Structure 1
Amino acid sequence: YYLKSSDEMEALFSHVEEAIYNTVEIAERCRVEIPFHINQLPKFPVPANETNDMYLRRVCEEGLQKRYGTPKEVHIKRLNHELNVISSMGFSDYFLIVWDFMKYAHENHILTGPGRGSAAGSLVSYVLEITDIDPIEYDLLFERFLNPERVTLPDIDIDFPDIRRDEMIRYVKDKYGQLRVAQIVTFGTLAAKAAIRDIARVMGLPPRDIDIFSKLIPSKLGITLKDAYEESQSLREFIQGNLLHERVFEIAKRVEGLPRHTSIHAAGVIMSQEPLTGSVAIQEGHNDVYVTQYPADALEELGLLKMDFLGLRNLTLLENIIKFIVKKTGTQIDLRNLPLQDEKTFQLLGRGDTTGVFQLESGGMRNVLRGLKPNEFEDIVAVNSLYRPGPMEQIPTFIESKHGKRKIEYLHPDLKPILERTYGVIVYQEQIMQIASKLAGFSLGEADLLRRAVSKKNRDILDQERKHFVQGCLQNGYDETSAEKIYDLIVRFANYGFNRSHAVAYSMIGYQLAYLKANYTLEFMTALLSSAIGNEDKIVQYIRETKRKGFHVLPPSLQRSGYNFQIEGNAIRYSLLSIRNIGMATVTALLEEREKKVFEDLFEFCLRMPSKFVTERNLEAFVWSGCFDDFGVSRTNLWKSLKGALEYANLARDLGDAVPKSKYVQGEELSFIEQLNKEKEALGFYLSSYPTAQYVKLAKELEIPSLAQAMRHKKKVQRAIVYITSVRVIRTKKLQKMAFITFCDQNDEMEAVLFPETYIHFSDKLQEGAIVLVDGMIELRNHKLQWIVNGLYPLEEMDVYEEKKDASVYVKLSSQYEKKLLNQVTKILFDYSGFAKVLIYYEKEHKMVQLSRSLSIHPSEECLGALREIVGEENVVVKI
């Protein structure tokens, strides 16, 4: 198919010339003009005797009284200013629409965020309870949000708990009409590898060749096929000389970047005064909410109102923590009125104990917090703003200034009131605006335009704005040299400055979570674990932290567990939904059946549950996760009884009480490790115990520290008994093999590295699931602790240890000053790690010294032979 020319069309339809003329006539009558940049804001329904401006003012004045009781002059003046700007720009309906759905959220106990973006700088937003940040208390600027000298639609983004976002979209759809509200389409485009794969498949390349073709494209974010061809010699060799490969590559380059599939914008919702079908193509979505067929940029060009309803996981987390607190203590937490000088909260932040704390939990951020030792809310706002590429380089200066290790200097004394809270560093965009207003006499609207202009780094604009700024400073009595230096300072930080309104709002969420973690730790960890359901890696991390904080995590229980993690006494009960192979439908059926009556045993469980949920795979997951421990039967015997239980349930469903109930199979128990591995299969990790648990006694006797103890001593040779969870082998630039491994003990996890010289000797010991004695040194690298491995030694079985735990190896040396000989002996002791203690007898000094238990050895023939070769046959004796 192709679009035929007019000549071809005339030839094809020459027998109906009238149709050709009529087609042209109809085409000439078709005229479509699409108006752009004309706002199509919905009208908010207001009382008959009021305009939208009047109604907004009345609602704001009521909110002002509610927020402040008796408002001060500064509040009244600021409110009047903002309302006048909003009215003059025609945005009163916008604010009323947002106020209305936020009112619905509050009335229906849907937690909303304290604010997001520059909207937190608006007093109107604050008194309407759209935001919870007082812009006057925190020195936030309205003009950063809505600038009468730069007319654009206001942009209020709202955070809701992620599980309740759909409820809010449903509300606006029901209020304004199904055809006036829609979610927004997004287009996924063909990236380099996807373009190759799709075209190669269409062109008939074998799957193996498609895989090779795709893998030859370097795995770099945003790489194009053109760049890949220039960068990869292997790719060029694969393409050149093969006509089919060349053809695939050429076509793939042409389709690269084109839309491949549609999805729905994560936050955007469009609202319109008229039915959307009059201005935009729409299609059916889910929950009876339509989806536009135009992306966000095109919709804004059409003047349609876009609002961002963002589903924030951390608000769901806050909601759940509060519910747990109420259930356990009866205390009702008001997030709006938390004390912002809570000592326990700042101690937690100063320790970097920020797992699960919004914006503050990365490794690098933890290190910054440990150095900063924040003691006021402003510290959190600043560090959230600075911890980004670019301004990050100012963090050491900020910390040193805070702790009085660096003198704070200002280019001019009048900068002090503006920069004092950030110790002389420009951190926020609003500070640039305040400098321009204070020194150059700019209105805040003009100052916002200056901020935007200088951030673009256009030389002509920079020079033009410099003249404007310096002239303003001169008119206000400042000297030219100071004005030039201050402008240079603004230019330097214009790209780095962060939106303070946004920083304050999001730091408030971080503080709220930190406060709850510090003061309600059990409730916090329970909610945090529930938030991670479906993410095994996160659950493992959070369970480790829970245990470190002294709380037990109980296995899932058939009689007591629910969908989520729950508080049980002073412990946390595991979630049924977090058992592998157990889905929502199975858990729902189980809980509904349990409501009627508790389950008495395995056989009754199989009989009462719907048969589609009682499969051998499901039952094995329940058994080995510990869910059936309530029956008082060992997991091994429960497992061996599954087949009989299923047969009994199938018969009893047909024949009823005529079928005698089966009995549990009794048999030999699986070993400790076998049962633990089965538990790991069911949960994804070890919960009830840990493979290294059987070596706790050994570690104590050999004075081997736990990982937590070892981590306290950097730059010191240490040993630990660990379980290897992952191994990744790479090649260096010199093509030598080295390895990165992860290992853990019962409570902690650590990353480690084996450099090439170590890898050569110990590569055969690198097995996932192996329990080893690791030897090496801990160092801080890239803000994380890392174990530099010197050696890995498999542990003997415990029964062998029991036999040899009292063994002693005596080594005789002529003198304690034979350092070279002693070093050779010590090296052998490291190479043959084990359980027998080692004693050195120094003949000249008539002295016997027992070496540290960390130097205990396995007295194998090979080990003893190596020692005798150094010190002599008669100078090594073993006593068992």
Structure 2
Amino acid sequence: MSHPDFAHLHVHSEYSLLDGANRIGSLVDACVKDGQRALALTDHGNMFGAIELYQSAKKAGITPVVGCEVYIARRSRFEPHSKAKGNGYHHLTLLARDDEGYRNLIKLASIAYLEGLHFRPRIDREVLAKHAKGINCLSGCLASELSQLALSGKEKEAEELALTWRDIFGPEHFWLELQRNGLDLQSRVNETLVRLNQRTGIPLVATNDIHYLRQEDCQAQDILLCINTGAKKSDVKRFRFETDTLFFKTRAEMADMFRDLPDAVKRTMDVVEQTNVNVEFGKYHLPVFKPDSSETADELFARLLEEGLARLYPNDPDGKARARVDYERKVIAELGFVSYFLIVWDLIRWSRANGVPVGPGRGSAAGSIVAYLLGITKVDPLRYDLLFERFLNSARVSMPDIDIDFCKDGREKVLDYTRRRYGAENVAQIVTFGTMASRTVVRDVARVLDMPLKDVDKIAKKIPAGPNAMSLAEALEKDPDLVAIQKERPDLAELFRLSVPLEGLARHISTHAAGVVIADRPIVEYVPLAKNGDDVTTQWPMTQLEELGLLKMDYLGLRTLTILEKTLRNIEKQGGTPPDLDHLPEKDPRTYQLLMAGDTLGVFQLESDGMKKLLARLKPDCFEDLIAVLALYRPGPLESGMVEMFTRRKHGQEPIAYPHKSMEPILRDTYGCIVYQEQVMLISNALGGFSLNEADNLRKAMGKKKPEIMAKFADQFVAGAVRNGCAEGTAREVWDNIVKFGGYGFNKSHSTAYALVTYQTAFLKANFRSAFLAANLSCEMGDHDKVKEFVDDARKASIPILAPDIARSRWEFEPEGAGLRFGFGAIKGTGERAIDAIVATRAKLLKKGAELTLHALSAEVDPSEVGRLNWEALIKAGAFAGSGHNRGAVLAALDAALTDGARAAADRKSGQSSLFGDAPAGPVASGKSAGDGIDDARAYSRADTLQAEFETLGFYLSGHPLEERAGLLSLLSTVRLNELGEVSGGTEVTIAGLILSKSENVVKSGKLAGKKMCRFRLEDMRGSVGVTCFPRTYEENKLKIEDGNVVVVRAKLEEDAEEPALLLDEIFTVEEAIQRFAGGVVIQITPQDAGLLGDLRTTVERFKGPRPLYLAVEGADGRTRRVRAGNHLGVAISSDFAREIEGLLGKGRVRLARV
């Protein structure tokens, strides 16, 4: 049976953002399957999916109908949305009819965000009438103004509105929209629409307001609505669709549903037949660079290249640089990219001239000598064998892509300059879509189902993420734990069932971290715009913008550049001369010693434990090695054995072989290993006879790993190599190596540019450590764990950390003498505005010669800028310790000081202070006795002081609660916490430490359901680790597991954990641990200790006790023998004993003889 032609004209996709469960590809597939010849997309208030629809539909051979269900403000789009004040909004269905209508729809969608955004992006009748040409309009769903008038019994007003829309869009371009969704309200609206049709002749058209693909997907849509509104599924009064009919219906289903009005179904094709929108791809819309001088862009380009050539290649005896410049310049000019290079040159020039640090380059652009001469990059491509064709292949025309690293703090300044230079309307940031990833969707759906989030979070973490990420559906089939969970827990099985259809759907819009688009005309003439916070963004993502021919640039905010800049400023503050980072000594011994030692905390790209181990093995001693390190530390090279081969060859442990002499100059710097993509290209060129453009095509094909394409390249390579005098067998061997290792090859241009930043940071750390660490600490102030890591790093280098001081500290960390002064910004509870006010007040008081007491400062500073919590944080952190008072005593005086300060502020406001001159109000003015009003009897204990410090800094700075027992606790531990990263998962360890952050929870299911378990942090003086304690162990040891207790744990290191974590087996008090583990004490004796044996005996006798004493005596032959120090000589194990022995003989010379 044949069915009438029909097309869906009211369709929502995932881009209706939590109000549409459709993927565009699935909708197109459904159209094709049902023989429908067209598909519209009318997402709520936006055109996010328009290009995806257009491309998918065209590829499938159906007509794309680009549309939008707009929100129309009841009055003005400029007025805030308020239903109570009669300025809510209604829906209206708009469809682009032709190219002009498409452009107008883009303008309307943009105006809705840029002018009418208030909860929803809205337009109004005024702007709609102005941009109605070329647009078809349907009267809309139940939420339309016409439907609402019909439901209110205002049929006359409804008719007037319908006639208004007809006048605006034209008699042939407006339809009354009928829907049949089973709702009584809709039936009432339909009756009115039919009567309006009979009276006015405005045609009827049938739609179905699609929100999900299949009828059974209505539950997924309902979950989306709950996520959208923050409701629980069980909430009785929540917003929901009271129908399950909003799915993709077939032509037969629509014909049956409107069998009494068949023309309404057929008329959808009238809309389709009118539709002829042509989106243009591939035509570039680059801005034309206009020089400030009278030169043309081409003349400026030529002059800059000549100047750069003279500056950077003053001697070019073989003419290589000149030839390369001429070649690149010719290609760039022929492809029409001169303006592009000048735009990038101008941005970088302006940034450097205006104090915004710029990186030395990134990506394949470092392979261009033109970029080098223009100052876009700082890497000499000739010296490092970098290839222009890797960047710009004239045989495969595509837009060049120069990404720029700016100092993170200056990125916004560069954006502002871009807007001024090219016009704000020609510049926008780029949208990106936050999606419902596997773990996120499980958590979101669990909230809707009101499931305990602690349980769900634990389950969600079982879904593989990161490099081994799986889709939720895949994980539910393949992960044994998740398979078992579904069988044991029906509620979790239901959670997963509801989550799978939603995974990957768009959840919200964000601003791309780097992407900026610049056009030759206002962007709204090509692309709809949106607003995300204060950012104006495109509505289409980066890849689509590139396909549409718009210039996309990445302005990346690189914090390392901020650190470099702060380090140079710190060196100046110390009275030193900052080094020129562009001209550092190439083989600085200190720098390479630091790299070989893996002392690379804060060094760009080299901070991970794995990278430190690689550095220690490889021992880089030249810049070429550093380039290779960045390229090698990736899964492919690490897993393929390439890293081991590279390391063995570098250290002469394996011979270096070149299958053909042409390969030696190409692979010499990497010891015969193929590490870079450029090496694959050069081998293909030198041996296989490929042009460099062909070699770049080979590189791309290797990434795609398509066997049929690779087979053609193999034949071409072998044939070319044979023509070049290579034996066929050798040629095939070389090809096999290219395929095996070349597939892991990295972009050498990028690696070289970033190695330069790596070297700069390593050089500064090696030669200006205090200034460098202060800069890093200032950039990490919001991350207290990271601050502690850098503090520990400074201490390892014997750099003292000077406590926060009200008289000396500023917001950031700064070098001071031989140490580092703690920055106020790293104290929890401070804010930059408050600190700026305090620092300014401090300067005023010092100028007057006044003391910097709490009373003096609080009397002068504006209380609206510095509140009680700010002062309390500073006091607890020790900022007033320099006054000679304990922090507890200063804190006890705070209320009185603030009262005096408020009074002083009130006096200043009323002008009363002028009666008493400029003297700050203090204790005397408030009737107290002279002095600072601080009662030292209110002092904190040492433990309270350390606790206050921990609260405000996130770690202990001036000491540690364990310091008095450090020696003993070290004896009881088999490993220190900062060494756990080097211990294999599953290993049993014994560690002494302090319990922090204990949290209890109840097991929800299984045999242990209802039982309590706990988690806590265990901290020693070197680090901390999370510990999980299961119910049985917890029940037996509850009293021991309390915050502040010093304990010894025996635990296993979790396997496959993202960071070290322990599973508790046993827990002991210190005294219990001594009884359990101490079979005696061993003191190590060396031949050099002969003169200390008398003192040693005296010390031992002062600590007599029950534990046997053993001496591990090192003989002249270097061998160590353990002997009992007398059958009757024993010791009592204590911290004092360990401390005195180590004070006499040295660290690490005393240990337990374990039972």
**TM bucket normalised to smaller:** 0.7 to 0.9
Q: Does 1:675 align with 2:945?
A: yes
What percent identity do the matched residue pairs reach?
A: 36
SS at match of 2:574: helix
Q: Does 1:354 align with 2:624?
A: no
1:483 positional shift: 1.2
The aligned residue for residue 407 of structure 2 is: 161
Q: Does 1:20 align with 2:203?
A: yes
The aligned residue for residue 606 of structure 1 is: 858
Q: Does 1:690 align with 2:986?
A: no
Q: Is the 8 A contact 1:64 1:71 kept in 2?
A: no
Sort the Cα spacing of 1:341 and 1:853 in 2 relative to 1 into closer, same or farther, 3 A: closer
In structure 1, distance between residues paired with 2:648 and 2:1014:
39
Q: Is the 8 A contact 2:597 2:615 kept in 1?
A: yes
Q: Is the 8 A contact 1:836 1:856 kept in 2?
A: no
The aligned residue for residue 660 of structure 1 is: 927
In structure 1, distance between residues paired with 2:953 and 2:1026:
25
The aligned residue for residue 573 of structure 1 is: 821
Residue of structure 2 aligned with 1:744, choices 1017, 1020, 1031: 1020
Q: Does 1:403 align with 2:645?
A: no
Which amino acid is the alignment partner of residue 178 of structure 1? A
The aligned residue for residue 862 of structure 1 is: none
Sort the Cα spacing of 1:597 and 1:71 in 2 relative to 1 into closer, same or farther, 3 A: farther
Q: Is the 8 A contact 1:808 1:837 kept in 2?
A: no
Q: Does 1:476 align with 2:724?
A: yes
The aligned residue for residue 307 of structure 1 is: 553
1:837 positional shift: 8.0
Residue of structure 1 aligned with 2:808, choices 540, 543, 560: 560
Residue of structure 1 aligned with 2:538, choices 281, 284, 292: 292
Q: Deviations over 1:751-787 (max 9, x none)?
A: 699999x989999756654445789999999999999
Q: Is the 8 A contact 2:889 2:936 kept in 1?
A: yes
The aligned residue for residue 280 of structure 2 is: 35
Sort the Cα spacing of 1:21 and 1:703 in 2 relative to 1 into closer, same or farther, 3 A: closer
In structure 1, distance between residues paired with 2:861 and 2:714:
77
The aligned residue for residue 641 of structure 1 is: 893
SS at match of 1:667: helix
Q: CA RMSD in A?
A: 4.6
In structure 1, distance between residues paired with 2:622 and 2:497:
59
The aligned residue for residue 27 of structure 2 is: none
In structure 2, distance between residues paired with 1:266 and 1:669:
49
In the superposition, the TM-score normalised over structure 1's length comes to 0.82
In structure 1, distance between residues paired with 2:604 and 2:633:
14
SS at match of 1:167: helix
Q: Is the 8 A contact 1:390 1:496 kept in 2?
A: yes
In structure 2, distance between residues paired with 1:691 and 1:159:
44
1:728 positional shift: 11
The aligned residue for residue 848 of structure 1 is: none
The aligned residue for residue 622 of structure 1 is: 874
The aligned residue for residue 11 of structure 1 is: 194
The aligned residue for residue 591 of structure 1 is: 839
Q: Does 1:122 align with 2:368?
A: yes
Residue of structure 2 aligned with 1:343, choices 584, 589, 609: 589
Equivalence map 1:528-567=2 (5 Å): 528-567=776-815
Q: Is the 8 A contact 2:965 2:1135 kept in 1?
A: no
The aligned residue for residue 310 of structure 2 is: 65
The aligned residue for residue 819 of structure 1 is: none
1:38 positional shift: 1.0
Sort the Cα spacing of 1:421 and 1:687 in 2 relative to 1 into closer, same or farther, 3 A: same
Q: Is the 8 A contact 1:775 1:789 kept in 2?
A: yes
Equivalence map 1:293-442=2 (5 Å): 293-392=539-638, 393-442=641-690
In structure 2, distance between residues paired with 1:591 and 1:582:
13
Sort the Cα spacing of 1:615 and 1:174 in 2 relative to 1 into closer, same or farther, 3 A: closer
In structure 1, distance between residues paired with 2:855 and 2:1101:
46
Q: Deviations over 1:16-56 (max 9, x none)?
A: 45443999999866643210111111101147875533331
Q: Is the 8 A contact 2:309 2:373 kept in 1?
A: yes
In structure 2, distance between residues paired with 1:252 and 1:754:
29
Which amino acid is the alignment partner of residue 622 of structure 1? L
In structure 1, distance between residues paired with 2:1064 and 2:505:
48
Structure 2 segments unaligned to the other structure (5+ residues): 1-140, 143-175, 181-189, 206-266, 908-912, 914-920, 1073-1098, 1110-1122, 1139-1148
Residue of structure 1 aligned with 2:1105, choices 809, 817, 827: 809
Which amino acid is the alignment partner of residue 84 of structure 1? K
1:283 positional shift: 2.9
Q: Does 1:132 align with 2:378?
A: yes
1:407 positional shift: 1.1
The aligned residue for residue 464 of structure 2 is: 220
Q: Does 1:282 align with 2:529?
A: yes
The aligned residue for residue 266 of structure 1 is: 513
Which amino acid is the alignment partner of residue 845 of structure 2? K
Which amino acid is the alignment partner of residue 35 of structure 1? E
SS at match of 1:184: strand
In structure 1, distance between residues paired with 2:474 and 2:395:
43
Q: Deviations over 1:224-252 (max 9, x none)?
A: 45346544444466557x9xx96x86665
SS at match of 2:282: coil
In structure 1, distance between residues paired with 2:853 and 2:725:
89
Which amino acid is the alignment partner of residue 20 of structure 1? P
Sort the Cα spacing of 1:409 and 1:566 in 2 relative to 1 into closer, same or farther, 3 A: same
1:559 positional shift: 1.7
1:274 positional shift: 1.0
Which amino acid is the alignment partner of residue 363 of structure 1? D
In structure 1, distance between residues paired with 2:1000 and 2:746:
41
Which amino acid is the alignment partner of residue 444 of structure 1? L
Higher relative contact order (CA 8 A, sep 6+): 1
In structure 2, distance between residues paired with 1:36 and 1:710:
56
Choose 225-234 or 181-190, whichever is displaced more. 225-234
Q: Deviations over 1:513-552 (max 9, x none)?
A: 0011111111111111111110000000100111111111
SS at match of 2:379: coil
The aligned residue for residue 494 of structure 1 is: 742
SS at match of 1:440: coil
Structure 1 segments unaligned to the other structure (5+ residues): 798-802, 814-821, 839-851, 858-866, 868-880
Q: Deviations over 1:659-691 (max 9, x none)?
A: 324722231533212211111112111111122
1:256 positional shift: 3.1
Which amino acid is the alignment partner of residue 560 of structure 1? R
In structure 1, distance between residues paired with 2:442 and 2:1054:
43
Q: Is the 8 A contact 1:796 1:834 kept in 2?
A: no
Sort the Cα spacing of 1:741 and 1:633 in 2 relative to 1 into closer, same or farther, 3 A: closer
Q: Is the 8 A contact 2:430 2:516 kept in 1?
A: yes
1:584 positional shift: 1.7
SS at match of 1:390: helix
The aligned residue for residue 910 of structure 2 is: none
In structure 2, distance between residues paired with 1:589 and 1:535:
24
Choose 64-73 or 552-561, whichever is displaced more. 64-73
